[in-house]
A and B are shown apart, each in its own frame.
Chain A
Amino acid sequence: MCLGIPGKILSIDEHKRAVVEISGVQREVRLDLIAEATEPGDYVICHAGFAIHRIDENLAQELLDCLREIAGT
């Protein structure tokens, strides 16, 4: 039940509702739980109709590169 799925914001309306693309499907999620500014193109983790986290893409990439280095791939 704690499933959170990363999705890409396609658009945001004036009520802080966003249309997000999740696995190729468009869904409406609320942005009320996120304090950071978000804009179309951002990735957010979605859970039960809400975005609960904005993913920092640069940080995610850095971490992945770092892990690859440690693992030796």
Chain B
Amino acid sequence: MKFIDEYRDPLLAGKLLERIARLALSAGRQMTIMEVCGTHTVTIGRFGIRNLLPENIRLISGPGCPVCVTSIHDVDSALFLAGIPGVIFATFGDMLRVPGSQGVTLQRVKARGADIRVIPSAVDCIELAGENRTKEVVLMGIGFETTSPTVASVVRDCKERGIKNFSVFSVHKVIPPALKVLVDDPALNIDGFLCPGHVSTIIGAEPYTFVAEAGSSAVITGFEPVDILEGIFMILGQIREHKKTVAIQYRRGVNPEGNLRAKELLNDVFKPGATSWRGLGMIPDSGLYFREAYRNFDARLRFDIPPLESVEVTGCRCGDVLRGIISPRECPLFKSVCTPLNPLGPCMVSTEGTCSAYYRYH
């Protein structure tokens, strides 16, 4: 398939690996590279890239799986909203099996009779709201900058059309503030980041400037094996030159300035605010909340979410996995108790969660 197969070319991948090996050898030290996005993690697992790299390159997985970083409190709030009589709770499929406190999931709430619909796109909410005028359609607004503009677009559309029985529970998050936390963490000491390609399609290159200023490479990288290898190759090149910059490997998918229209839309509907990430805790300006003009679409205002006492699953180390502090194999529950069929934490639920990717491919 065009724009995919070329970037899976084994010959090209092999040559890049040779180049990487040479650079790694001349560096003569241990280097740590973080792949930020869950989709990177899946490609790396699926094509066995971790095992093909020279031993002195350590690839660690980052916080780029939206379902995984959603706090248990937000999961509990979603469970509450989904259980309100008269609510149609619309969500992307990944959320269904994420356990909240006491292991309750949306799937379980659905089995008990809640009206939960799995939708591939926020656009589907427009039809849902139109066909069910006596019900309240609530969308689980989850995802990074790749996804949030699609939700913003639907919200603006609903406002223009005067659709009133639709709201969004926004737990959207933005990536750069989370990266800032990782860059500033002295325990991690990351030489370079493979920055998320499709988040960058929207936000462009500029928001990563602080990474380079802090002395790490930020290479915006695509999702095919050749992309990942070229991204690593570019980071090693920067290390050799002692020049850390923001660079775009995934140029076919990312303009340096990002997607201006999507950014404008995002900024029109949402404003940044502090939010809590699983594993990383509260991060300023890393969440998206409705602006005044769109407050009617805010599920947090429309429904009275009571204060919920959320408790994390005992023993699950998703938080440490998301910060790159441990690899899933170091979690005592990995594969023994926690499996994709019986996931204890979100990192095992989501197909792009680090634990699930390690389970399938290592």
Q: Which residues of A contact B (CB under 8 A)?
A: 1-4, 6, 8, 23-24, 30, 32-35, 43, 45, 47-50, 52-53, 55-56, 59-60, 63-64, 67-68, 70-73
Q: How far is the CA of A17 from the CA of B123 in the complex (A)?
A: 11
Residue of A1, A4, A23 contacting most chain B CB atoms (<10 Å): A1
> Residue B216 at the A interface, CB < 8 A?
no
For chain B residues 48-83, which have a beta carbon within 8 Å of chain A?
64-67
Specify which chain A residues have a CB less than 8 angstroms from the CB of B2 in the assembled complex.
Answer: 6, 8, 43
> Residue B137 at the A interface, CB < 8 A?
no
Specify which chain A residues have a CB less than 8 angstroms from the CB of B9 in the assembled complex.
Answer: 73
Rounded to whole Å, the gap between the CB of A56 and the closest CB of chain B is 7
Q: Are B120's CB and A48's CB within 8 A?
A: yes
- The residue of chain B having its C-beta at the shortest distance from the C-beta of A53 within the complex is B201
A-B contact count (CB 8 A): 125
Q: Are A47's CB and B150's CB within 8 A?
A: yes
Q: How far is the CA of A45 from the CA of B147 in the complex (A)?
A: 13
Q: How far is the CA of A24 from the CA of B226 in the complex (A)?
A: 23
The 9 closest A-B pairs by CB, nearest first: A49-B121, A71-B15, A6-B3, A60-B252, A2-B146, A4-B198, A35-B261, A2-B198, A50-B150
Specify which chain A residues have a CB less than 8 angstroms from the CB of B341 in the assembled complex.
Answer: none
Q: Are B201's CB and A45's CB within 8 A?
A: yes
Q: How far is the CA of A63 from the CA of B121 in the complex (A)?
A: 32
Q: Are B149's CB and A52's CB within 8 A?
A: yes
Q: Are A50's CB and B153's CB within 8 A?
A: yes
Could you give, for residues 1-16 of chain B, a 1 whenever the CB lies within 8 Å of some chain A CB and a 0 otherwise? Answer: 1111010010110011
List 17 A–B pairs whose Cβ atoms lie within 8 Å, in order of A's numbering: A1-B65, A1-B92, A2-B143, A2-B197, A4-B223, A24-B1, A33-B265, A35-B260, A43-B2, A47-B146, A47-B150, A49-B124, A50-B123, A50-B153, A52-B198, A60-B252, A67-B226
Q: Are A45's CB and B198's CB within 8 A?
A: yes
Q: How far is the CA of A53 from the CA of B104 in the complex (A)?
A: 38
